[in-house]
Amino acid sequence: MSSIKNDITKSISSVESICGSFDRPLVKDKDCKTTLDIQNTILGVCEAVQGSLNDEYQNLYDVKLNIGEISDYEYENLLNQLELEENTKISTIKNKIGDGLISVGCLSEAKNMYMNVIDTYTGSAYSAIRQHSQIKIDDIREMEKK
């Protein structure tokens, strides 16, 4: 059991090192659309990897539930926590992509990314992430006025 947990921990640290470094777009191509397409491809990979990690955790929790190591209530809480953590990581990555798009002048694409965060992550647990998006949208509106 601890071997599985160690493998999952190693995988998580790999995902965070790859997907957690979106301070600016990794590639700035000829135009904003191409840059955004590349970023969305990378985001898709991060979402898929994070989903796979969550599947591994769920498998671990299934085993613990079946052998009586955790209760049904604990099992449900662990699954809810997994979903919250995944959504928090992905929404944070989206905000970082938006920040990077602003830094290379792709304001419309950044605004769309932030709007996606606001529209998708609606629970109170995501209020700080939505607030970041809203502040950046306000910043973009100010930049567009100039």
Question: Given the structure tokens 């921990």, which residue do they identify?
Answer: 9
Give the range of the structural domain holding residue 139, as residue numbers without chain letter: 2-19+28-145
Count the neighbouring beta carbons within 10 Å of the beta carbon of residue 51: 12
Q: Does the pTM exceed 0.85?
A: no
Q: What is the pLDDT of residue 8?
A: 46
Cβ atoms 47, 125 nearer than 8 A? no
Q: What percent of the chain shows pLDDT beyond 70?
A: 79
* pLDDT band with cut points at 50, 70 and 90 for residue 1: very low
**Can you tell me which residue has the tokens 């992905």?**
90
What is d(CA 112, CA 117) in angstroms, rounded to the nearest whole number?
9
pLDDT at 43: 79
Q: 93, 46 in Cβ contact below 8 A?
A: yes
**Residue 142 — pLDDT band, cuts 50, 70, 90?**
very high
For residue 99, the Cα-to-chain-centroid distance in whole angstroms is 14
Q: What is the pLDDT of residue 16?
A: 53
Number of domains in the chain: 1
How does residue 28 score in pLDDT terms, banded at 50, 70 and 90? Answer: low
For residue 90, pLDDT over 90 is answered with no
Which of 21-25, 58-62, 131-135 shows the highest mean pLDDT? 131-135
Q: Report the 10 Å Cβ neighbour count for 54.
A: 16
H or E segment at 75?
helix 72-103
Residues 27/38, Cβ–Cβ less than 8 Å: yes
